[in-house]
Amino acid sequence: MAVAAPADLAAVLQTGDWAFVLGNWRVLLLGAVVTVVLMATSLTLGFLAGFPAGAVEAYGSGWTKELVSTAGVVLRGTPIVVLIVLFFFGIPVPKLGSVPVVDVRLSAFLAATLALGLRSGAYQSQVFRGAIQSIDEGQLEAARSVGLTHRQAVRHVIFPQAVRRSVPGFQNEFTIVLKDTSVAFAIGLAELLTRAENLYLQPGRDTAIMEVIIVISAVYFVLTFATNRTLDYLGDAFSIPEGSE
């Protein structure tokens, strides 16, 4: 295999192209902001859907448990790009206009949030289910023995512990959702990858592809690293001390 000479590398990574990328830092910054907001809304929706689903799978029975379990399997088994396209083109999402400041169509943002959030909820439900089932059943029985209903016992005794035990499991899910936001370019949402593609598709700027990709890869790495370190801190801060049960 031939090894690229320094002159070849210089031709690929040209100073003018770097200047072009850096000159459009505001465009990429806005894309990063949209990416972070999309990740936050998707994870929030995933949490709101995932914890009840995990509780149903842990404590439910009958058709309710079967329905939640089946929905989770379908969502986890469907590629995220298919879900995003389905929600955007196949479901009547209302036309909500756009946000001119960041050039984002709200209908596309809503479709991406629903797809990413519900798929995340399907995975988060398994994190919660495992956390719930790891808590000794004696704690639930003890809570019932002092007069709490089953729902109150789950809410006040099981729920707080399950959330704390789930923090390490969220690390992988946060990273996956962050990277999956890039798939929203399939419906034209102006997140980081879409804006990056628009830069090097400008006439005469196809030589800047490598520079643009390097920059947005660095941005994704920084976001992922910051997220993981934050979750490490939260995991240590809210972990259940040994021997506290």
pLDDT of residue 27: 87
Across residues 22-42, what is the average pLDDT? 90
> In whole angstroms, what is the distance from residue 72 CA to residue 126 CA?
9
Q: What's the pLDDT score for residue 49?
A: 93
pLDDT at 153: 81
Q: What is the pLDDT of residues 153-179, one digit of tens each?
A: 888 888 888 888 887 777 788 889 998
The reported pTM is: 0.83
CATH number of the 6-238 domain: 1.10.3720.10
Domain ranges of the chain: 6-238
pLDDT above 90 (res 120): yes
Q: Show Cβ contacts of residue 84 under 8 Å, excluding neighbours closer than 6 positions.
A: 111, 112, 115, 116, 183, 184, 186, 187
Distance of alpha carbon 6 from alpha carbon 87, whole angstroms? 47
What DSSP assignment string belongs to 112-178? HHHHHHHHHHHHHHHHHHHHHHTS-HHHHHHHHHTT--HHHHIIIIIHHHHHHHHHHHHHHHHHHHH
Asked if pLDDT for residue 18 goes beyond 60, the answer is: yes
Tokens of 144: 């019932």
Residues 6+ apart with CB under 8 A from 224: 175, 178, 179
* pLDDT tens per residue across span 69-115: 999 999 999 999 999 999 988 887 667 777 777 778 888 899 999 99
